A and B are shown apart, each in its own frame.
Chain A
């Protein structure tokens, strides 16, 4: 099954705009994806036709808004194979979802306990665990990566031990694209009684996740990287685990009974959703998932492999270009980070931008990984279901131009 990319592109008006005299070439989808018309229309329809607060508004509009919000929860649960909608907690983004995980699991940590992450994590899967470990007097440990950007599992028997309480890893790296063997690591984590947390921000947009077989106990992703709006993230958790976790933020709707001295708390998922939630955004994410499913996640996944292969072949054939991470489209997502010798990523980005090509330059919220791989920062091109081979060709030509522009004159 293959994608009709041209037809898909018709659903994204922004892909038809120009930047100066150049057609826009958007290769920054690992940062945020573009939005198809169906999602923007669903957001507009929600605001224009059934906007009200959820759960606490008792009128007809309130009931319709609540139905739409809870409908989105059920839709997302079905999309990831969750056993019940109650296993899906809405947050504002993946960072908040990871903070929720780190805070609530952190409440159980004691001095001497260990939390295990990896050097390839996004800052949002590092900093919350630093906070949690600091508060509890627990120890933060991490997997190293190999020189080609794969998770280094050599000392896994030392890293996962009887003191390990949490293992939190990214499913697919936002910088080097590496796909981590979550299921095998989770199995090992479970033998010592540790909770497995999976950051699926970079995988959820491209493939069908099945939380019942992946191995994670908690899993997070964000809506805006998968055609949904900004301001909506998801924490999925195994029902019995969520049930055992304390609240995160306090406020409206997360309570059962409040007295001036103390409070009791609602059952999940509401225990973790204090205050008015991102209602329209949840509805928008539901619409994004409807739309992705109408395209077909299997076809989207196949397109990602195809475009990644093409991009890697093009990039690695450029003289003076160094890839960070795996150079073959095996067990990797579509994020391709690289450097042109002697040219700072900001300058590369600027030259590409002057030709209508949107990519990202910097450390992509993963400074430790860059340091480990011996790069201060990098340039990243990332594709999605609307990316074409022709766009990759233009990227490659522009990189050669950039290299020559900054070369000796």
Chain B
């Protein structure tokens, strides 16, 4: 097993210096997601502006993969519209379940391409997905609220 394949420098950089960290106002919805098998916990807030995801803020405790994934997701999604997030979510999930078979498009995924390596470590896939699932839940609740 090649550790450096899992812990690519993009991931370790985000882990050491998390972007968008800390819970911010204003927000439409706050969700709390956990990974019961390992104890990772994430509180995540989302603020919508019409169809746009205006802000994502969070406070989490967890491994480098889950923390870096949350940081990367913030970079990638803040300012995008809900539909674009939906498409990226589907494609990210597919990549994470591909066991390394799918090479992501860097233009679309930016730093999230680093998680292609994580997909070869089945036990860690759920770490990478924690933030994505939390955000999907939060966006869906926020949309329901607006309607």
Write the residues of chain A forming the contact surface with B, with a CB cutoff of 8 angstroms: 20, 344-347, 350-351, 353-354, 361-363, 367, 370, 376-377, 405-406, 408-409
Contacts and interface: CB of A to CB of B under 8 A. Distances in A.
Given A344-B62, A346-B63, A406-B64, A353 B1 contact: yes
What 4 pairs across the A-B complex have the smallest Cβ distances?
Answer: A346-B63, A344-B63, A377-B39, A363-B39
B97 to A, nearest CB: 19
Given A344-B64, A406-B64, A354 B3 contact: yes
B88 to A, nearest CB: 25
Contacts of B124: 346, 350
A199 B93 CA distance: 41
Contacts of A376: 39, 41, 61
B1 A346 contact: no
Interface string B1-41: 11100110000100010000000000000000000011111
A352 B1 CA distance: 11
A370 B40 CA distance: 13
15 contacts: A344-B64, A346-B64, A346-B65, A347-B7, A350-B6, A361-B38, A362-B39, A367-B39, A370-B39, A376-B39, A376-B41, A406-B12, A406-B64, A408-B16, A409-B12
Please tell me the size bucket of the interface on B.
20 to 34
B1 A362 contact: no
Interface of B: 1-3, 6-7, 12, 16, 37-41, 61-65, 67, 121, 124, 127
A354 B1 contact: yes
B93 to A, nearest CB: 20
A140 B63 CA distance: 33
Contacts of A367: 39
Contacts of B2: 354
Nearest to B6: A350
A82 to B, nearest CB: 36
Contacts of A362: 37-39
A218 B123 CA distance: 37
Given A376-B61, A406-B12, A346 B38 contact: yes
A405 B127 CA distance: 20
Nearest to B16: A408
Kindly name the residue among B3, B64, B124 whose own CB sees the greatest number of chain A CB atoms within 10 A. B3
Given A353-B1, A354-B3, A405-B3, A347 B39 contact: no
B27 to A, nearest CB: 24
Contacts of A344: 62-64, 67
Nearest to B1: A354
Contacts of B65: 346-347
Given A370-B39, A405-B3, A406-B12, A347 B63 contact: yes
Given A362-B37, A363-B39, A346 B127 contact: yes
Contact of B3 (A346, A350, A363, A377): A350
Contacts of A377: 38-39
A363 B63 CA distance: 13
B74 to A, nearest CB: 19
Given A346-B65, A350-B6, A20 B38 contact: no
B77 to A, nearest CB: 23
B76 to A, nearest CB: 22
Contacts of A346: 38, 40, 62-65, 124, 127
Contacts of A409: 12
A377 B127 CA distance: 15
A20 B1 contact: yes
Contact of A351 (B3, B40, B62, B67): B3
Contacts of B63: 344-347
A362 B38 CA distance: 4
Contacts of B12: 406, 409
A20 B2 CA distance: 10
Contacts of A351: 3
Contacts of A370: 39
B124 to A, nearest CB: 7
A138 B41 CA distance: 31
Contacts of B39: 362-363, 367, 370, 376-377
Contacts of B127: 346
B125 to A, nearest CB: 12
Given A347-B7, A377-B38, 13 more contacts: A20-B1, A347-B63, A353-B1, A362-B37, A362-B38, A362-B39, A363-B39, A367-B39, A377-B39, A405-B3, A406-B64, A408-B16, A409-B12
B121 to A, nearest CB: 8
A351 B37 CA distance: 18
A367 B38 CA distance: 10
Contacts of A406: 12, 64
Kindly name the residue among B1, B37, B39, B127 whose own CB sees the greatest number of chain A CB atoms within 10 A. B39
B64 A347 contact: yes
Nearest to A342: B16
Contacts of B1: 20, 353-354
